[in-house]
Amino acid sequence: GHTPGHVIFYHQPSKLAVVGDVIFQGSIGRTDFPRGNHQDLINAITQKLWPLGDDVTFIPGHGPTSQFGYERKTNAFVADDVLAAR
């Protein structure tokens, strides 16, 4: 969604994901780049990242780290209650 071919690295033993510009603390990546797609980005976050677990810490491309569980509760773009209201 952010850009085609974007990859995320996940280290299960340490519950750490390096997500680049897919998701940030309180935000998500831009999708206005060529072939970016907002819905694909939302789907990738909710279908591929959330299942890794609420206790997974992620390192974004810039800005502070966060945890998926915290973003599921507070992120204005992908919080569970925000998406349920759509």
Q: Is pLDDT larger for residue 69 or for residue 1?
A: 69
For residues 54 and 71, give the distance between their C-alpha atoms in angstroms, rounded to a whole number. 9
Mean pLDDT of 19-26: 97
Exposed, middle or buried, 75 (CB in 10 Å: 0-12/13-18/19+)?
Answer: buried
What's this model's pTM, rounded to 2 decimal places? 0.91
pLDDT score at 1: 45
pLDDT score at 6: 83
pLDDT score at 3: 67
Which overall architecture, per CATH, does domain 9-84 show? 4-Layer Sandwich (3.60)
pLDDT score at 61: 95
Q: What are the structural domain ranges in the chain?
A: 9-84
Mean confidence (pLDDT) of the chain? 94
